[in-house]
Structure 1
Amino acid sequence: MESRQPDESRAGIPDGGGVAGAEAEREAEPGAEPAPRPTLGIAGLSPVSRIVVALAIAVLVGLVTVHLGAGFLHVAPANTLSKKHDETIDRIVFPEFEQNWRLFAPNPLQTNIHVEVRAELRMPDGGSEQTGWVDLTAMDHKNIEGNPAPSHSVQNELRRGWDYWTDTHDEDNRAISDRADLAEDYVKRIVMRRLGPVLNDGRVERIQIRQTSYRIAPPSWSGERWDTAPVHRELPWWIVTGEDLMKSDREVWEERAQ
């Protein structure tokens, strides 16, 4: 009898190669359709969904382009384009996206400026009293310390308001701009939001603001020397009206007037 040796390549494997072999045989059968594969990404969306996604991307790209363009024109040297669209650029950039080059300027700021205020009060007995000077800038600094993400208004509202006032007045506190009255109202309302309508049980009748400047001492290695004593610039007394107060504060302030 003729002896036959088992086929080692198929030893221990069922006919058809198991599950894989069965699938291969089914795919090999004439007329069999391959199993559908899922379509991923945008290609898997309906035509309407594709249009919506395309429009959203186009809008996003447009907004980013406009924002970056406005930021570039804001910090770039004055040119025909920036002058023509100056108001539009300011509306986009200010106040949240303000930028400047002072950090990298050849002569960065060398003075710390503090805005301080004192108030004249009408006391319950009819007499008047003055408060001492209150450092509003120091109050803002204290609110920022320890806050990893302070708001733009907490950091810059008072500073920008004061810059606005100094830009519209000369060194003798005289108006040099049509916006001078607006600047005064703006600063007064910022200050009154911090003071409130009543101090030391007295109704706030008038306020006086001053700027205190401190020149920053030069580094020891520079060889420069200058006076670091504080320099004051006092403004006239301003009368407080109900328009300078928030609604809730105005009600308290008006009640104290009776």
Structure 2
Amino acid sequence: MKQQDNRALGAWSRSSTAVLAAVAIALFGAAAWHLGTVALSVAPPNTLSRHYPRWIADHIHPELEQNWKLFAPDPPQGNGQIEARVRTVNGTGARHTAGWTDLSASDIAAVRSNLLPSRTDQDLLLYAWDYYALWHDQLPGHPREARLMAANLKRTALQRLMPQYQGQRITGLQFRFRFDRVPPPSWASPTTTDRPVNQVLPWWRVQNKDCQGL
């Protein structure tokens, strides 16, 4: 009886060892892939990064983007103002184009009224715009990331605008952006123009799926 138990234990142990070995190999491969793509994303251009740019970008962006701001913070060098307006339709089918809403001002007011403001809430809208501009203006040729950033910006704005239009369906959304640079100190030589940057985006269509979960 004892000999049979030992044989059964040995057979179970061999199968367990095989499963553990397969899991270990899978985990090692996933870790190697992750560390390799992260290293290639922050390393200077090389043969591998030039040969597999799409694979690296698909894994790193937008969730795992790496930068050095944790060690050398680069605060904004200007004041950004993001405004939006919507087109709506009510229950009778009447359509209306609303005026511009200053989303940045409402965010700033919410932060100032909170004794312990959340940095996530404070920067959510501005980061959504920055990432949208990055993938559309500075990193062309990445349609998947561009679509994700556009959807993120759209949903971030709708989350703030929807409470104002209860009973009306939002069918369109438009953004405009103004950036005023903070002037440098008197002892520093100016390196950039002091002209404000103004940008108006075309109308975006808003579908039901854009508002789900908000």
Q: TM-score range by the shorter chain?
A: 0.5 to 0.7
Percent of aligned positions that are identical: 24
- The answer (yes or no) to whether the contact 2:170–2:206 under 8 Å persists in 1 is no
Alignment of 1:81-230 (within 5 A): 81-101=48-68, 110-121=77-88, 126=94, 128=96, 130-135=98-103, 139=107, 142=111, 146-147=117-118, 154=124, 156-167=127-138, 186=151, 187-188=153-154, 191-196=157-162, 199=165, 203-204=169-170, 206-216=172-182, 218=184, 223-224=187-188
Which one scores higher on RCO, CA 8 angstroms, separation ≥ 6?
2
| Higher Rg of the two aligned structures | 1
Q: Which has the higher helix share?
A: 2
Q: What's the secondary structure of 1:223's corresponding residue?
A: coil
Structure 2 residue identity aligned to 1:130: A
Q: What's the secondary structure of 1:115's corresponding residue?
A: strand
Q: In structure 2, how many angstroms separate the alpha carbons of the residues matched to 1:109 and 1:206?
A: 30
Aligned residue for 1:69?
A: 36
- The answer (yes or no) to whether the contact 2:87–2:170 under 8 Å persists in 1 is yes
- More displaced stretch, 119-128 vs 190-199: 119-128
- The answer (yes or no) to whether the contact 1:212–1:230 under 8 Å persists in 2 is no
Point out where structure 2 has 5 or more consecutive residues left out of the alignment. 1-11
Aligned residue for 2:25?
A: 58
Q: For residue 73 of structure 1, report the CA deviation from its aligned partner.
A: 0.5
1:245 aligns with 2:210: yes
Q: In structure 1, how many angstroms separate the alpha carbons of the residues matched to 2:142 and 2:41?
A: 24
Aligned residues: 192
What's the RMSD between the two structures over aligned residues?
A: 4.8
TM-score by length of 1: 0.52
TM-score by length of 2: 0.60
Q: What's the secondary structure of 1:196's corresponding residue?
A: helix
